[in-house]
Every structure is written in C-alpha cells, then in structure tokens.
Structure 1
C-alpha cells in the first residue's frame, strides 16, 4: 500500500497526494483558516509541509501537464513575490 510520500518514477503520473495538493489550490476559500483546516483534514499534514510540497510541485513538469492553469497561476504568484523581495 502506498503512503503517498513516494515520488513517482520519471514519466509516471502524479501521486494521489500531489493531485490532492493541486485540487486544494484549485478551489476558492471562504476565509482565513478554512484552507489550513482542509489541508490537515484531507491530507493529514501540516500547512508548512503542504506548502513545501506545493512549491516542489510547481517545478514538476508532471504537475504542469496535469493542471496547467493552476500551476501557471501559482508560478506567476511565486515569481511576483520573489520579485518584490528583490
């Protein structure tokens, strides 16, 4: 049984957990705390770990192939934050 922590081999699709991370990002969230609660309840991980996984996914070509709209939106937002920091 897979724990979801393994990274698929190159050429394979995303893990269920990676797809779930992207699904959370695809949603709109009603207010502060709702997203963090969903992360803990649905994925069973801390928000800090979630954002580490998400950041790695943004550089994964399989994530881009799976959900290009979400990945490109998040890449733009990440790049804008980096530019503001200098």
Structure 2
C-alpha cells in the first residue's frame, strides 16, 4: 500500500507498511504505550495508522509478508462486523 511517500516494489511492501505491521505484531502494556509508539516510531497519528493498517488487511502483499498478523486482524475485523 504505497502512496508515493515510501518506495515499494510490485512484489513487496513499502518500508512504512512493514513498520506498521511490526508495530501491530508487538504486545503493549496499555493503549497509551501503543499510541505513543505510533507517533514516535512512525511519525503519524494513531488515526492514520489505523487507516493504513485497515488497508493492509486487504493487501495480498501484506498477507504474504506476515500471514499470522494479517489473518489474526482479519478475524478480529470480521467478528466486529458480524456484531453490527
């Protein structure tokens, strides 16, 4: 999911997309720690982070890069949609 700010290849993810997935793979002691890390490590707002992350869930390159994280997040997203 490149937008011109990070060079990605047709076969792989951009460095920013990989960094988003790396943040999501970690476990956090509380919500404040994760939001702080998003701002400090990625230099974006948490809102933008979650927009990028949601787009990555539908990106086949993200699935190829980190299938465990992507499939876990897809299950969470699908469960939330089913409750609505």
| TM-score normalised per structure 1 | 0.88
**After TM superposition, where is structure 1 displaced by more than 3 Å over at least 4 residues in a row?**
6-9
**Structure 2 Cα separation of the partners of residues 27 and 76 of structure 1:** 17
Instruction: Kindly state the Cα deviation for residue 6 of structure 1 after the two structures are TM-superposed.
Output: 4.4
Equivalenced residues, count: 82
Ranges in structure 1 where 5+ consecutive residues have no aligned partner: none
Structure 2 gaps of 5+ residues are none
Q: Quote the residue 1:41 is aligned against.
A: 40
Query: For residues 34 and 72 of structure 1, what CA distance do their matches in structure 2 show?
Result: 24
Give TM-score, length-normalised by structure 2: 0.90
Mapped to 2, the partners of 1:80 and 1:51 lie a distance apart of 17
